[in-house]
């Protein structure tokens, strides 16, 4: 866990030293984003199982994105493996996500940089920009929840690392009892940030650690070249290297969390949130570094948490006199007449013999 945090911090520091120029070259930054893209999470109770198998997503529409380098979003530098398909769903309590991205199988146990990795980013503070992950102007020494207020961004990062395919990682009793967003078992961590250099596990902060936080995420991964399920650690590396296919990631989180520190995005049914997805991959077998990730867009993408649509279609709109209404009225009139007729017949029939059940 501490190792994980240290690795993350190392990645951060590396990212900082290698990408400082990119972050400051504001003139170079250009983004032609299509802001009309909406990822829609429909109400699908009892549909999704978090097992890495994605058959249960096949009737759910997704959005396919060309993924571009986050710090240099130009089409000619897109991830050459293929597009990333992003799907979302919810069951009224939890929101579910599925990511599918083509990539040759690579697994190097415990060496996160040599396997695929994904992250989600959600806007929390109303002034949190996509560019520079919240966009707070403070540096690592000066960012605080006061100086960066309004720039809060929620992050979830899953580095496959030593995670076994098909097994569940993320929030667990051991780490959650310590009250932070860590995950010592699989490095599926719950974080927040104000900019790329002020990034912390939920509960941790620049001046004080708060133990009221939780890792609210669960997730798993899979690759299409894996042929059976029920893997254990000893089966590592689970499949042979460089087999072509696709990576699948499945995640869930409660729509609302018990966060009291502005470190989690909160989702509301019927409302739209802002999100993005990042992807790290060891292109040509070269280990990735923290800022060398691809992103589905160079600005926020809308995430709609849609209400139960069957409720909406039950509410008649416009003319109430449709065929069904007319038929049910006719039916109830006929039923009423029959009941009067039967009632009349019964009241006129005297001496109906009583037949005990056991004589039948």
Ligand X SMILES: *[C@@H]1O[C@H](CO)[C@@H](O)[C@H](O)[C@H]1NC(C)=O
Binding site for ligand X (CB under 6 A): 7, 11, 14, 111-113, 125-127, 145-146, 149-150, 204, 207-210, 241-242, 261, 284-285, 287, 289
127 alpha carbon, distance to own chain's centre: 22
Q: Of 144, 145, 148, whose CA–CA distance to 129 is shortest?
A: 148
Query: Shortest gap between Cβ of 219 and ligand X (angstroms)?
Result: 19
Contact (Cβ atoms closer than 8 angstroms) between residue 137 and residue 24: no
- Which CB sits closer to ligand X, 27 or 208? 208
Measured at the CA of 289, the angle between CA 284 and CA 290, to 5 degrees, comes to: 140
Query: Shortest gap between Cβ of 67 and ligand X (angstroms)?
Result: 19
Query: Shortest gap between Cβ of 327 and ligand X (angstroms)?
Result: 55
Q: Of 204, 198, 194, whose CA–CA distance to 151 is shortest?
A: 194
Query: Shortest gap between Cβ of 148 and ligand X (angstroms)?
Result: 9
Query: Shortest gap between Cβ of 75 and ligand X (angstroms)?
Result: 24
Q: Is 233 helix (H, G, I), strand (E, B) or coil?
A: helix
Pairwise CA distance, residues 109 & 65, whole Å: 29
- Which CB sits closer to ligand X, 211 or 328? 211
- Which CB sits closer to ligand X, 207 or 310? 207
- Which CB sits closer to ligand X, 111 or 231? 111
- Which CB sits closer to ligand X, 56 or 182? 182
- Which CB sits closer to ligand X, 253 or 293? 293
Q: Are strands 84-90 and 38-43 parallel, antiparallel or unpaired?
A: parallel
Q: Of 172, 170, 167, 145, whose CA–CA distance to 157 is shortest?
A: 170
- CB-closest chain residue to ligand X: 150
Query: Shortest gap between Cβ of 90 and ligand X (angstroms)?
Result: 26
Q: Which residues contact 228 (CB under 8 A, 6 or more apart)?
A: none
What sign does the CA torsion over 355, 357, 358, 360 have? positive
Q: Which residues pair with 246 in a beta bridge?
A: 102
Pairwise CA distance, residues 23 & 131, whole Å: 9
Query: Shortest gap between Cβ of 182 and ligand X (angstroms)?
Result: 9
Pairwise CA distance, residues 52 & 168, whole Å: 9
- Which CB sits closer to ligand X, 7 or 255? 7
- Which CB sits closer to ligand X, 60 or 278? 278
Pairwise CA distance, residues 262 & 259, whole Å: 7
Q: String of b and e for 5-14 (b: at least 16 CB within 10 Å)? A: bebbeebbee
Query: Shortest gap between Cβ of 132 and ligand X (angstroms)?
Result: 15
Contact (Cβ atoms closer than 8 angstroms) between residue 204 and residue 198: no
């Amino acid at each position: 866990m501490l190792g994980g945090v240290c690795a993350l911090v190392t990645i951060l520091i590396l990212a900082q030293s290698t990408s400082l120029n990119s972050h400051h070259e504001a003139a170079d930054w250009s983004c032609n984003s299509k802001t009309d893209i909406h990822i829609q999470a429909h109400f699908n109770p009892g549909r999704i199982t978090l097992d890495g198998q994605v058959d249960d997503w096949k009737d759910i529409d997704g959005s396919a994105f060309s993924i571009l380098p986050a710090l240099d979003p130009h089409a000619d530098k897109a991830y050459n493996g293929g597009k990333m398909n992003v799907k979302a769903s919810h069951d009224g309590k939890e929101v579910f996500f599925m990511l599918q991205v083509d990539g040759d199988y690579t697994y190097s146990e415990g060496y996160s940089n040599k396997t695929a990795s994904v992250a989600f980013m959600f806007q929390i503070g109303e002034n949190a920009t996509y560019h520079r992950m919240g966009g707070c102007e403070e540096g690592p020494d000066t960012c605080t929840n006061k100086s960066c207020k309004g720039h809060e961004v929620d992050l979830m990062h899953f580095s496959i690392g030593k995670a076994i395919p098909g097994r569940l990682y993320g929030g667990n009793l051991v780490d959650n009892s310590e009250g932070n967003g860590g995950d010592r078992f699989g490095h599926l961590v719950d974080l927040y940030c104000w900019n790329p250099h002020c990034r912390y596990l939920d509960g941790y902060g620049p001046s004080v650690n708060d133990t009221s936080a939780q890792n609210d995420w669960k997730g798993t991964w899979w690759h299409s070249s894996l042929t059976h399920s029920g893997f254990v650690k000893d089966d590592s590396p689970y499949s042979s290297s460089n087999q072509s296919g696709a990576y699948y990631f499945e995640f869930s989180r409660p729509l609302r969390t018990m966060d009291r520190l502005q470190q989690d995005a909160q989702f509301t049914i019927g409302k739209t949130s802002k999100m993005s997805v990042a992807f790290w991959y060891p292109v040509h077998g070269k280990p990735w570094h923290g800022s060398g990730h691809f992103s589905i867009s160079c600005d926020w993408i809308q995430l709609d948490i849609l209400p139960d649509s069957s409720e909406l279609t039950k509410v008649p709109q416009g003319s109430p006199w449709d065929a069904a209404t007319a038929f049910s009225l006719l039916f109830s009139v006929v039923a009423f007449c029959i009941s009067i007729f039967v009632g009349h017949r019964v009241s006129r029939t005297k001496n109906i013999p009583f037949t005990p059940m056991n004589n039948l």
